[in-house]
Amino acid sequence: MLKVKNVTLRFGGLVANNDVSMEVRDGKITGLIGPNGAGKTTFFNCISGVYTPNEGKIIFEGKEIQGYRPYQINKAGISRTYQIINLFKKMKVYENVIVGMHSRLNSSVTDSLFKTKKEREEEKKAYEKALGLLDFVGLLELKDEPAGSLSYGKQRLLEICRALASDPKILLLDEPAAGMNATEKNELDLLCKKIVERGVSILIIEHDMKLMMGLADYMYVLNYGKLLAEGAPLEIQNNPAVIEAYLGGE
Amino acid sequence: MIIQILVSGLVLGCVYGLIALGYSLIYKASGMLNFTQGDILTLGAFLGYTFYGVFHIPFILTVIIVFIIMLGFGMVLEKGIISKLVAKGTLPIYTVLATIAVSYIIQNGSMLVWGTQSINFPRIFHVTNIKILGVNIQTEAFVCILVSMICMVSLHIFMKHTRFGTSMRAAAMDPLAARSLGINVSLATGLTWGISAAVAALAGMLIGPLYGVYTTLGATIGRKGFASAVMGGYGNMYGAMLGGAILGLVETFTSAYISSSYKDLVAYILLITFLFIKPTGIFNERAIQD
Amino acid sequence: MNLRLKNAISNRKKDLIILLVLLLMPVFLNVIHFEYAFTIVSFIFIYIIAVSGLDIVFGYSGQISLGHAAFFAIGAYGSAILHKYTHIPVILTMIIAAFLAAVIGAGLAYPASKLVFHFLSLATIAFGEIVYQLVAQSPYEITGNFTGFFTDSVSIFGYKLNTYSKFYYFGLFSVLVFLLMKNNLIKSKVGRAFIAIRENSHAADGMGINVRNYKILAFAISAFFTAFAGGMYAHCVKFISPDTFMYKQSVMFLTMLLFGGTASRFGPIFGAVSVLILNEALRATEKYQLLIYGVLLLIVIVVLPGGLYGAYQDVAVKFKKKGVNKC
C-alpha cells in the first residue's frame, strides 16, 4: 500500500534519515519505534509532505508521492496527527473535524458565497458525518466546546478524529498516547483496532512499548536516522541490537 | 550638475538610512516594526527648531538636548506601551498597529503645538557654501552627510566594542540565554528603541535646515525608510545605510532626469519588488519569509 | 432542540424588527426634516462593506493589509472611468471594477502570501502608495489627477439615485447582500479554511487546505468587497479625488474594524457606525482627527482587544448568566 524506498533526508551536513525503507501493509498496524532523536517524526514529515527527501521514493498506491505538498498528501489519502498537538484551538470540536474533511468537500467558492442547495446539503452531510466520527472516538458530548478547552488526552483523540475525517487509507499517528493515563491508553488501544476494522491502515510512532506490543502487527526500529531492525513485535523485543540501542541511549 | 544631484541624493539617502538604521536595530532587538520613526523625525526637527531657532540655544547644545529627550521618549514608548503589550501576549500585528496609533498621536500633537505651516529652520552656519571638486555645496548638506557617517561608525563601535552594545546584541539574538548570563534584557531592548528614536530625531535636525519643518515631513520619510531597510536587508545596519543611499540617489536622479512626480512611485516599486523577489535584501539578511 | 428552535425564531423576529426599522427610517428622517442624516447613513453603508472586506482578510484569515484604500480606489476610479468611456450602466461598471480589483488583489497576494505579516504589511503599504501615485499622477490624466473626477450617480431602470436620500435603499440593499455573502462564506468550507489558516497554518496544510491558494482567495474576495464599496462611494458622492485614497484611509478601515471587533458578524457594522458618528460629532474639531483615531486605536489594542462588539458580547454573556442564576 505505502512503500518507502531508500529515503534519505539531510539538513545541511546532518543526515536525519539515512536510506530508510519500509512498508505499510493494507489493513495492518505498523509500528515505528526508536530512541529520542532517532528521526521518527522527521520520517513522518517526509511521508506527509512537510519535507521532501533528498533521495529515495515514497510510493502510495503505485504513485510516487515524494515532493507532494502536505495538502496534496492529505487529499491523496494519507492523513496524520501531530506529536505536539496542532488543533485549531478557538474553533469548536465539531468544526475541527469538518476542517479535516476539507479535501472531500466539493462546493466551490460561488456555492459558498450564495449558499446554494448543493452547498447546504453538503454542509448538512458534513455535520452529520462529523457527529458520527465524534461518536466513534467518544467525544460527541463535547462537540460544541472550543477545542482548546479539552483535556490533553481528549485533544489527542480529537486529532485522531480530525485526521479520520478525510477518509484516509493510511493514518499516521505520532505518539498518540503521550500524556494519556492508563485508562485513556486502553481506550486508545481499542480505538486503533476499531479504526483498522474500518479499513484504515495505521503507521504509528509510540514510546509506550507495552501499548506497541499489543497493537503492532509489524515493527520497524530507527536509530540515528537509520533502520536498525524490523520484524514482528516479539522478534523486535528480543533483538539484541534493539536492546543495545535502547539501553545505550539511556 | 551631476555632482549637485549626487549630493542631494546622498543627503536624502543619509536621512533614509538613519531612519532605516533605527528600524533594523528595533527589528533585531524585538522583532517588531516601528511605525513611529518618521514622526519622531518630525518631532525632533520641531524640537530642534524650538531650542535653536526660538530659544537661541547653540546648535550643538540643541542637538545634545534633543538627542537625550528623544532617547528617553523612545525608551518610554517601549516600556510604556510595547513591552506591556508583548507581556500581555497581544498578537504582534496589534503591537505594530499600536505604533501606528502612536505615530498619529505624535503627528497630530506636533501640528497642534507648531501649527500646519512649514517653518523655516534658521541657518546653522555662516558659511553658506563650501567648494568640493569645484562645485558649490550647501554647508548643511555636507554636514548632514558627514554626521550620518559619524553616526553609523559610532553606532557600529558602540554595538561591537562596548559592554552595553554587546549585551544589546546578545539580548536581540537570544533573550533567554542573555538573561541567564545576567544581561538586563529589558533595559537593552528599551535602549534600542531609545537610540532609534534619538537617531531619527537627529536626522530631523539635519534635514530641517534643508527642507523646512512641517508636520508631515517625517511621514513619507518614515515609509521610504522601510524601503531602504528592506533593500539593504531588514535588520542589517550597513544594509540600512546602503539601501538609504541607493533610494536617495534613485529618487533624485528620477526627479532630475525623468520627472519629480515619479520619484515616490519609483521608491515604492523598489520596495515591493525587493519584498517579492529578494526579501532578504542586498546584504542577504536572514529570511523574512513565512 | 426545542430551545434552539425557539432561539432561532426569536433571532428571526429580531432580524425582522431591525429590517423594518431600517426600511422605515427614511420616512421618519423626512418627517423630522433631518436630511443630513442621509449623508451620514450613506457613508455608513459604504464603509460597512469596505470594512467587511478587510475583515475577511484580517479578521478571518489573519493576514494584515495596510493598503486597502488601493482597492477602494480601484473600485471608485475603475467604475467611474469605465462608465465615462463606455457608457455601460453604472451598476455594471461597479461590478466590473470590483472584479478587476479582485484580480489585482489575487495578483498582489500571489507573491505576498509568502511574506510573514510584518513584511506583508510593508508590501501592502507599498501597493497602496503605488495605486495612490498612479491615481494622483495618471498617464494622460485619465483620473483627473489632483483636480478630481466627476461622475454619474447610480441609476436603476432609468431612475437616478442622485441624492443621498434616494441612495438610501440601494445602499441598504447592497449592505444586506454583501453581509449575507460574507456570512455565507464564513459558515462554509472556505470560511473554515480561512480560520484554520489563521489559527494554525501548518495544521491547515496537513488537513488538505492549500494554504497559499486560500490566502490568495481571501485577498481577492476582500478586494471585491472593498472595491465595490469604492464604486458606491464614487457614484454616491459623484466626485472623487486622490485625497480619499491615501494611506490614511487604509488605517481608517483598520481602525473601524478593530474598534468594531474583528472576525464577527456585527463588528464592521459597530465599527463603521461608531467611528463615522464620532467623526460627525467631532467635525468642528477636525484638527484633532488623527489624534482621536490614534487614541481610539490605542484604546482598542490595549484595553478592548475584542472591539465594541466583543465588549458588547461580554456584557451580554454576563447578563444572561445573572438571569440564569436568578432562576
**Cβ contact A102–C192 (<8 Å):** yes
What pLDDT is stored for residue B290 in this prediction?
A: 41
Averaged over C283-307, what is the pLDDT?
84
CATH classification of the domain holding A211: 3.40.50.300
**Cβ contact B33–C297 (<8 Å):** no
pLDDT digits (tens, 9 = 90+) for C149-165: 999 888 888 888 888 88
Quickly list DSSP for chain A.
-EEEEEEEEEETTEEEEEEEEEEE-TT-EEEEE-STTSSHHHHHHHHTTSS--SEEEEEETTEE-TT--HHHHHHHTEEE--SS----TTSBHHHHHHHHTGGG----HHHHHHT-HHHHHHHHHHHHHHHHHHHHHT-GGGTTSBGGGS-HHHHHHHHHHHHHTT--SEEEEESTTTT--HHHHHHHHHHHHHHHHTT-EEEEE-S-HHHHHHH-SEEEEEETTEEEEEE-HHHHHT-HHHHHHHHHH-
Q: Which residue of A has its CA nearest to C213?
A: A71
What pLDDT is stored for residue A105 in this prediction?
A: 95
Please give the Cα distance from A41 to A207 (Å, whole number).
Answer: 12
Tell me what percent of the residues of chain A surpass a pLDDT of 70: 98
Q: Which residues are CB-contacts of B119 (< 8 A; sequence separation ≥ 6)?
A: B46, B49, B53, B212, B213, B214
Q: Which residue of C has its CA nearest to A161?
A: C207
Please give the Cα distance from C282 to A250 (Å, whole number).
Answer: 71
Please give the Cα distance from B172 to A63 (Å, whole number).
Answer: 47
User: Which chain B positions have a beta carbon within 8 Å of C64's beta carbon?
Assistant: 93, 96
User: Which chain A positions have a beta carbon within 8 Å of C223's beta carbon?
Assistant: none
**Cβ contact C297–B96 (<8 Å):** no
What pLDDT is stored for residue C204 in this prediction?
A: 96
Cell 525623468 belongs to residue: B258
pLDDT digits (tens, 9 = 90+) for C65-111: 999 999 999 999 999 999 999 999 999 999 999 999 999 999 999 99
Cell 421618519 belongs to residue: C28
Q: Please determine, for residue A49, whether its predicted confidence score (pLDDT) is greater than 90.
A: yes
Provide the Cα torsion A221, A226, A229, A233; round to 10°.
10
Query: Is A107 part of the contact surface with chain C (CB cutoff 8 Å)?
Result: yes
Q: In terms of domains, do A18 and A37 share one?
A: yes
**Cβ contact A71–C211 (<8 Å):** yes
Q: In terms of domains, do A185 and A159 share one?
A: no
**Cβ contact A99–C190 (<8 Å):** no
Question: Is C113:C212 a contact under the CB 8 Å cutoff?
Answer: yes
Q: Where are the domains of chain B?
A: 2-277
Question: Is B283:B232 a contact under the CB 8 Å cutoff?
Answer: yes
Count how many domains chain A has: 2
Please give the Cα distance from A123 to A100 (Å, whole number).
Answer: 13
User: Phi first, then psi: what are they for B30, rounded to 5°?
Assistant: -135, 5
C-alpha cell at A89: 484551538
pLDDT tens for chain B, 290 residues: list them: 788 889 889 999 999 999 999 998 888 877 889 999 999 999 999 999 999 999 999 999 999 999 999 999 999 999 999 999 988 888 888 898 999 999 999 999 999 999 989 998 888 877 777 777 777 778 888 888 999 989 888 888 888 888 878 887 777 777 777 888 878 888 888 988 999 999 999 999 999 988 899 999 999 999 999 999 999 999 888 899 999 999 999 999 999 998 888 899 999 999 999 999 998 888 887 644 44
Beta strand C155-156 pairing with C159-160: antiparallel
Averaged over C289-294, what is the pLDDT?
86
**Cβ contact A91–C193 (<8 Å):** no
Q: Which residue of B has its CA nearest to C63?
A: B93
Averaged over A85-96, what is the pLDDT?
95
User: Which chain A positions have a beta carbon within 8 Å of C190's beta carbon?
Assistant: 109, 112
Closest approach of chain B CAs to the CA of C37, in angstroms? 28
**Cβ contact C119–B223 (<8 Å):** no
Provide the Cα torsion A40, A42, A45, A46; round to 10°.
-100
What pLDDT is stored for residue C162 in this prediction?
A: 85
Tell me what percent of the residues of chain C surpass a pLDDT of 70: 96
Give, for B130, the enclosing helix (H) or strand (E). strand B129-132
Q: Which residue of C has its CA nearest to A124?
A: C188
Taking the model in full, what pTM does it have? 0.92
User: Which chain A positions have a beta carbon within 8 Å of C184's beta carbon?
Assistant: 112-115
User: Phi first, then psi: what are they for C66, rounded to 5°?
Assistant: -110, 25
Q: Choose from B67-76, C2-11, C31-40 the range with maximum mean pLDDT.
A: B67-76
Question: Is A74:A166 a contact under the CB 8 Å cutoff?
Answer: yes
Q: Please determine, for residue C42, whether its predicted confidence score (pLDDT) is greater than 90.
A: yes
User: Which chain A positions have a beta carbon within 8 Å of C193's beta carbon?
Assistant: 99, 102
What pLDDT is stored for residue B286 in this prediction?
A: 65
Closest approach of chain B CAs to the CA of C249, in angstroms? 13
User: Which chain C positions have a beta carbon within 8 Å of B90's beta carbon?
Assistant: 301, 305
Provide the strand spans (E) within C92-209.
149-150, 155-156, 159-160
pLDDT digits (tens, 9 = 90+) for A97-134: 999 999 999 999 999 999 999 999 999 999 999 999 99
Q: Where are the domains of chain C?
A: 38-245
Q: Which residue of B has its CA nearest to C133?
A: B265
User: Phi first, then psi: what are they for B289, rounded to 5°?
Assistant: -90, 160
pLDDT digits (tens, 9 = 90+) for C103-143: 999 999 999 988 888 899 999 999 999 999 999 999 888 99
Query: Is A87 part of the contact surface with chain C (CB cutoff 8 Å)?
Result: yes
Q: Which residues are CB-contacts of B209 (< 8 A; sequence separation ≥ 6)?
A: B121, B122, B123, B124, B140
Question: In the 8-state DSSP scheme, what is residue C147?
Answer: G
Please give the Cα distance from C210 to C219 (Å, whole number).
Answer: 15
Report which of A124, A188, A125, A123 is spatially closest to residue A161, judged by C-alpha positions.
A188
Question: Is B96:C121 a contact under the CB 8 Å cutoff?
Answer: yes
Q: Report if residue A82 sits inside a domain.
A: no
Cell 482621536 belongs to residue: C292
**Cβ contact C287–B112 (<8 Å):** yes
Of C196, C208, C211, the CB nearest to A88: C196
Q: Out of A166, A201, A226, pick the residue that ends a domain.
A: A166
In this structure, how many other beta carbons lie within 10 angstroms of the beta carbon of residue C274? 17
Q: Which domain holds residue A105?
A: 87-166
Query: Is A166 part of the contact surface with chain C (CB cutoff 8 Å)?
Result: yes
* CATH number for domain B2-277, candidates 1.10.3470, 2.60.40, 1.10.287, 1.10.10: 1.10.3470
Question: Is B101:C297 a contact under the CB 8 Å cutoff?
Answer: yes
What pLDDT is stored for residue C326 in this prediction?
A: 42
Question: In the 8-state DSSP scheme, what is residue B116?
Answer: S
Of A88, A100, A112, the CB nearest to C190: A112
Of A98, A105, A114, the CB nearest to C184: A114
What pLDDT is stored for residue C5 in this prediction?
A: 66
Question: Is B225:B38 a contact under the CB 8 Å cutoff?
Answer: yes
Question: Is B170:B183 a contact under the CB 8 Å cutoff?
Answer: yes
pLDDT digits (tens, 9 = 90+) for A1-22: 899 999 999 988 888 999 999 9
C-alpha cell at B244: 538609504
Give, for B129, the enclosing helix (H) or strand (E). strand B129-132
What pLDDT is stored for residue B153 in this prediction?
A: 87
Q: Which residues are CB-contacts of C266 (< 8 A; sequence separation ≥ 6)?
A: C260, C309
Please give the Cα distance from A31 to B244 (Å, whole number).
Answer: 57
Is C67 in a helix, a strand, or coil? coil
What pLDDT is stored for residue C33 in this prediction?
A: 79
pLDDT band at A250 (very low <50, low <70, confident <90, very high): very low
User: From residue B251, how far is each of A193, B15, B67, B264 by CA, in Å?
Assistant: 69, 13, 28, 7
**Cβ contact C184–A91 (<8 Å):** no
Query: Is B86 part of the contact surface with chain C (CB cutoff 8 Å)?
Result: no
Averaged over C280-300, what is the pLDDT?
84
Query: Is B60 part of the contact surface with chain C (CB cutoff 8 Å)?
Result: no
pLDDT digits (tens, 9 = 90+) for A150-196: 999 999 999 999 999 999 999 999 999 988 889 999 999 999 999 99
Is B138 in a helix, a strand, or coil? strand
